[in-house]
Amino acid sequence: MQAGVIDTRNYINIMKNEIDRIESITSELLFLGKRKGSQKSVHCIQKLLNEVILLMQAEGLQRNIEIEKHFPAQSYFIKCDESKIKQVFINLIKNGMEAIDENGKLSVAISIQGSRHIVISITDTGCGIPKEKLNNIGQPFYTTKENGNGLGLMLCYRIIDEHQGKIKIYSQVDEGTSFQIFLPRVKE
Residues 53 and 110 in one domain: yes
How much is the pLDDT for 75?
Answer: 94
Residues 67 and 9 in one domain: no
Residues 71 and 104 in one domain: yes
Quickly state the pLDDT bin for 181 (edges 50, 70, 90): very high
How much is the pLDDT for 136?
Answer: 62
Residues 53 and 100 in one domain: yes
Per-residue pLDDT, averaged over 97-120, amounts to: 90
Three-state DSSP class for residue 66: strand
Three-state DSSP class for residue 141: coil
Per-residue pLDDT, averaged over 73-93, amounts to: 92
Quickly state the pLDDT bin for 184 (edges 50, 70, 90): very high
Per-residue pLDDT, averaged over 88-105, amounts to: 88
Residues 22 and 68 in one domain: no
Residues 82 and 174 in one domain: yes
What are 127-179's pLDDT values in tens digits?
Answer: 887 787 767 665 655 455 555 545 678 888 889 999 999 999 998 888 888 99
Kindly report the CATH number assigned to the domain that includes residue 73.
3.30.565.10
117: pLDDT strictly greater than 80: yes
Least confident among 22-26, 29-33, 70-74, 106-110: 29-33
Considering the entire predicted model, what is its pTM?
Answer: 0.76
What are 52-62's pLDDT values in tens digits?
Answer: 998 888 888 88
106: pLDDT strictly greater than 90: yes
CB 79 within 8 A of CB 42: yes
Count of structural domains, the chain: 2
What are 32-79's pLDDT values in tens digits?
Answer: 555 556 688 999 999 999 999 988 888 888 889 999 999 999 999 999
Quickly state the pLDDT bin for 115 (edges 50, 70, 90): confident
Residues 158 and 174 in one domain: yes
How much is the pLDDT for 92?
Answer: 93
**Spatial CA neighbour of 42 closest among 88, 87, 86, 77:** 77
Residues 20 and 67 in one domain: no
Residues 157 and 72 in one domain: yes
Residues 21 and 52 in one domain: no
Helical ranges in the chain per DSSP H: 9-33, 45-62, 82-99, 131-134, 151-162
Q: Containing domain of residue 31, as a range? A: 1-35
Residues 76 and 48 in one domain: yes
Residues 153 and 177 in one domain: yes
Q: How many angstroms separate the CA atoms of 126 and 68, rounded?
A: 15
